[in-house]
Amino acid sequence: MGKNDDKSIIGVVIPGYGHPQFLAEAVISACEQKLDRDYKVVVVDDGCKFPETSRMVGQLMEKYQGILHYFRQKNTGLPGARNAGVRFLMALEPEIDSIYFLDADNRIAPYSLQAFRDVLGDDPEIGWAYPDISMFGLSGSEDGFDTRETAPNYSKLKHLVGNISEAGSLVRTDVFRNGVFYNEEMTSGFEDWDFWLGALEAGYIGQRVRHSGFLYRRRPESMLADSRRLEETLIAQIRETHKSLYQPKNILKQEQLEAPAFAVFVAGADDVILSSDPKITSATMPVQHFKEKAHAWAHSPREHFFPEYLIVLSRAEWAQIQAQSGCLRWYLWHLREQALECAAVTLHESDKFDIRRKALNDDFTHQPASFICIKTSLLRAALLNSMSGISVGGTVKIPQPEEFCVSAPQLGKGAAGIEPVGAHMKVLEQFMADLLPLKSISGHQTRHYAGPSCVGIRDQLVSEICAVEGRAPFPVNTGAARAMILVGAEHLFSDVATGLVTALLKRLKAEGCETLVVLEMEPGQSFANADLSWWDLADDVVPMSLSGGNVEYRIYLGRRVPLKLGLLAREDLTVLARSCDVLLSCGAAAGLEALGQAKSHGAKGYVWFDPAFLVNSGQEMNHQAKLLAFEHAVAGVVTDDPGYVYGLSAEGFPPSKFQTPAEFWQGWNL
């Protein structure tokens, strides 16, 4: 064993409880390491009932003097034994560099610790080095070994869905010094996944060791097999413990970084733009690299993330789309939900918000369109067909697009450079043809990908947590603090609401907060005479259709409470709220009906009140009834009117929930 006094010591923790015949193999493999530094191995006898355990370790300690250590404790379970081993080594060697965890029934090769330490490196962000899992024992492979690659490239998104780092990993000791240890209450399994997520919360990430020499003994009665029976309960516990990682904002930010939903190709460009958020275009990839990524994904969609949609357009059109500040996210959100295989998108300025889809006629090629958007499943089909010889002559058959027409105020700026559909289709066909042909690859008989499915991650994380069932998340992935401003239909054209919206947008911008204005609209409501001077101050503007004359009523404290949000509008608002930290309602807007859902995801809802709201609308009784009915979901009412505070308090609204605007901004802490 080579030694270097300038290099800090590595430790190995081996918990022992049962199976002493396997433990001996694990201990010997750990003590026969060839390293460029000293190392210490400790066996933690976790109240093992077999006397052979202590006798066997005692005999080995004579052989590996100065390396192997042993102590016995009352049984605490695997997490407690690992923690005890860590604390023992840190007390024994205060400057210890890193600690490796080896379970008693597994083994490592003589070169393993060196391989792990080389990959761990000196980057403080790399908190642990993890192996591929080479299984032996109960294996389906003819040669007795079966290697599973859980994460060839470390992925936070994948780690949130399943454990991609085996417990047999080398952990930088700073992780423990920063307070991350095993949860000793998790004795039914998944304790290692919980530990890695704790390290992830603390700012660390993992790094894969390609050839680690780690061997995992597969047994039918293992704890992992037991944990599968309790999977739903354990996952719920993990998500509750690590709430910050499972917040919609964090997941959407990671989607932007790792699995962007859109690929944008600008005609004549050398790069492809990758993004889930149309306002973030910093991630680009050379076309050749995109081709390589497409080929890897075509062969293994479970292993590789790939955009769900491909957009093609001209430079002028790309500039125009980037100029659509208020509505860009709104219409791409709906485009993502339409599930169109191929769409020709047109944008029109109008005094109304409207989205329509319809089939184009046979002579559609000359119709102008802002861009073409197709599902990349068509691209994969073309690649697979090219490998089987179905695609002939390097051509790709693309279905006739449907028209996706978007109308909204302030839309269609700079539309002079819009190309016809036929021109877009030619660019798309050439782009897809340049990705052909797909070459076959040879796989390894006993090595395969076994991590979480990239396809399932969008369903299990992005859609499930960031949206509602069957819906797409609102595409905002900046991770910045966000505020939603709700403007009721009865206040859309009032000077009071316009002034309040303008003032709120300016103040929120000064506080470094992104803003989303939701305009509640009656059916057919027009903005022809509306004052939209605040429009360019907002990051996003989204219409919310109310139920019109089909208003439902509920009785609360003897009063009729109008419910104006239909099912679809309530879903819309729930999805929008997942990306926001605070909701500010201009008076008792209909959006109060969805504040309970927003609150469950951490968004606080406030009602800004001005007496003129009631004077202008004549809705004082409805206003008070609605506030009282949804008081549980309202964090506070912001007003300078003492008479209003007194009157609503007398009706039963908690006085502690009232505050002045000055008090609100003084307590602002997003």
pLDDT of residue 587: 86
Digit-coded pLDDT (tens) for 360-419: 777 778 888 889 999 999 999 989 988 776 554 455 678 889 999 999 988 866 555 688
- ∠ CA 660-665-669, nearest 5°, is 135
pLDDT of residue 530: 82
Digit-coded pLDDT (tens) for 578-604: 989 999 999 888 899 888 888 888 889
Percentage of the chain lying above the pLDDT 70 cut = 91
Strand order through the sheet with 214-218? 107-108, 214-218, 133-137, 146-149, 447-449
- Which amino acid is present at 163? N
Distance, in Å, from the CA atom of 82 to the CA atom of 176, rounded to the nearest integer, reads 12
Label residue 4 by pLDDT band (50, 70, 90): very low
The model's pTM is: 0.90
Digit-coded pLDDT (tens) for 211-224: 899 998 875 555 44
Distance, in Å, from the CA atom of 74 to the CA atom of 58, rounded to the nearest integer, reads 19
Show the beta-strand stretches assigned E in 190-337. 205-209, 214-218, 262-266, 271-275, 284-286, 309-313
> In the numeric block, which tokens belong to residue 210?
């390609």
Digit-coded pLDDT (tens) for 492-511: 778 888 999 999 999 999 99
Cβ(517)–Cβ(497) below 8 Å: no
Distance, in Å, from the CA atom of 102 to the CA atom of 167, rounded to the nearest integer, reads 8
Helices (H) and strands (E) in the chain, counts: 24, 31
Q: Nearest to residue 582, comparing CAs of 664, 655, 647, 645?
A: 664
Q: Nearest to residue 544, comparing CAs of 492, 495, 483, 599?
A: 492
Rg (CA), the chain: 30
Digit-coded pLDDT (tens) for 21-47: 889 999 999 999 999 999 999 999 999
Digit-coded pLDDT (tens) for 324-364: 778 999 999 999 998 889 999 988 888 889 999 888 777 77
pLDDT of residue 446: 59
Label residue 614 by pLDDT band (50, 70, 90): low
The three state secondary structure string of 96-136 is CCEEEECCCCCEECCCHHHHHHHHHCCCCCEEEEEECEEEE
Label residue 2 by pLDDT band (50, 70, 90): very low
Digit-coded pLDDT (tens) for 191-211: 999 999 999 999 999 999 998
Q: For residue 232, with 0-12 CB atoms within 10 Å meaning exposed, 13-18 middle and 19 or more buried, which class applies?
A: exposed
Percentage of the chain lying above the pLDDT 90 cut = 58
Domains of the chain: 10-246 (3.90.550.10), 256-434 (no CATH), 482-666 (3.40.50.2000)
* Per-residue pLDDT at 3 exceeds 50: no
* Per-residue pLDDT at 82 exceeds 80: yes
Q: Nearest to residue 477, comparing CAs of 275, 243, 263?
A: 275
Digit-coded pLDDT (tens) for 441-454: 766 555 678 889 99
